[in-house]
């Protein structure tokens, strides 16, 4: 039986940066001992960003209400950026490398045809966390940035995405998460200030209700 392409109208992005993609996947072929660890890390590594969000919230309990509003805005900003990426993914409908370049060395199992490549959801999550943490804590942001770069690399290494998928994710996620956090800081700070003197005080401040430090 002749194979029929399940997505005849899907976009083939392999011509954009094929050589760079194969350079990375050829490296994966030559480092097979790394394949399993990086395939695992590319998914469970997202937990690092969740941990950084929790650390940011924990530290914000000792800071002012605007900082706490920013801490609470981080996961919201990530969700907003991810949702935007999903919309773009459906609009672009770029075929995964495992389908457009079946002879390339692919570590990760090929997803369903309806799971498109551009932009990378994993990298969107990572980059959005970086942008949101930038407003809250520069040290946490720097740590997140390092892990985000590594996350983007692993997405190409396992063959799940082209380099332009990763770059596009960052270009999309960074401004969306940053602007969302800015907006939420302005909108949520008065609410956080009020809640810090109520029953949610133990969650929103490290000291007695209303005794949080400014700045």
Residue 152: its pLDDT value, please?
96
Mean pLDDT of the chain: 88
Share of the chain above pLDDT 90, in %: 67
Q: 94 pairs with which residues across the strands?
A: 11
Retrieve residue 189's tokens: 């700070």
Taking the C-alpha atoms of residue 170 and residue 151, their distance in angstroms, rounded to an integer, is: 11
pLDDT for the residue numbered 214 = 40
- Distance (Å, rounded) from C-alpha 46 to C-alpha 22? 25
Q: In the prediction, which pLDDT does 194 show? A: 83
Residue-level pLDDT at 164: 95
Collect all residues with Cβ–Cβ distance below 8 Å to 176 and sequence separation of at least 6: 77, 80, 81, 84, 128, 131
Give percent of the chain above pLDDT 70: 90
User: Would you give the DSSP letter of residue 110?
Assistant: P
Phi, psi of 12 (to 5 degrees): -100, 110
pLDDT higher than 80, residue 199: no
- Span 88-144, pLDDT tens digits: 999 999 999 988 888 889 999 988 888 899 999 999 999 999 999 999 999 999 999
Instruction: Give the residue among 139, 125, 170, 124 at the shortest CA–CA distance from 55.
Output: 139
Confidence of residue 10 (pLDDT cuts 50, 70, 90): low
Residue pointed to by tokens 């929790």: 54
Q: How confident is the model at residue 208 (pLDDT cuts 50, 70, 90)?
A: low
Q: What is the pLDDT of residue 207?
A: 64
For residue 209, say if its preceding peptide bond is cis, omega within 30 degrees of 0. Answer: no
In this prediction, residue 206 has a pLDDT band, given cuts at 50, 70 and 90, of confident
pLDDT, residue 114, reads 86
Q: Which has more pLDDT, 12 or 25?
A: 25
Structure token pair of residue 200: 């949610």
**Cα separation of 66 and 69, whole Å?**
5
Please, what's the b/e burial string for 45-72 (b: 16 or more CB within 10 A of its CB; e: otherwise)? bbebbeebbebbbebbbebbbbbbbbbb
pLDDT of residue 9: 52
pLDDT digits (tens, 9 = 90+) for 149-190: 999 999 999 999 999 999 999 999 999 999 999 999 999 888
Strands (E), 79-168: none
Q: What is the spatial distance between Cα 6 and Cα 99, in angstroms, rounded to a whole number?
A: 10
pTM assigned to the model: 0.86
Longest dimension (CA), the chain: 73
């Amino acid at each position: 039986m002749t194979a029929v392409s399940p997505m005849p109208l899907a976009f083939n992005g392999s011509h954009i940066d094929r050589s760079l993609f194969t350079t990375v996947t050829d490296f994966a072929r030559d480092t097979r001992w790394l394949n399993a660890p990086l395939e695992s890390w590319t998914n469970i590594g997202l937990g690092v960003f969740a941990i950084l969000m929790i650390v940011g919230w924990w530290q914000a309990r000792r800071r002012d209400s605007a900082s706490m509003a920013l801490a609470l805005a981080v996961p919201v900003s990530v969700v907003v950026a991810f949702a935007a990426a999903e919309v773009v993914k459906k609009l672009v409908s770029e075929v995964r490398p495992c389908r457009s370049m079946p002879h390339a060395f692919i570590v990760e199992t090929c997803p369903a045809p309806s799971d498109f490549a551009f932009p990378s959801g994993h990298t969107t999550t990572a980059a959005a966390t970086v942008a949101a943490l930038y407003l809250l804590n520069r040290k946490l942001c720097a740590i997140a940035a390092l892990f985000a770069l590594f996350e983007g690399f692993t997405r190409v290494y396992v063959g799940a995405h082209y380099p332009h998928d990763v770059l596009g994710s960052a270009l999309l996620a960074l401004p969306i998460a940053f602007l969302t956090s800015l907006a939420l800081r302005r909108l949520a700070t008065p609410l956080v200030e009020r809640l810090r003197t109520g029953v949610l005080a133990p969650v929103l401040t490290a000291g007695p209700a209303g005794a949080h430090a400014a700045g």
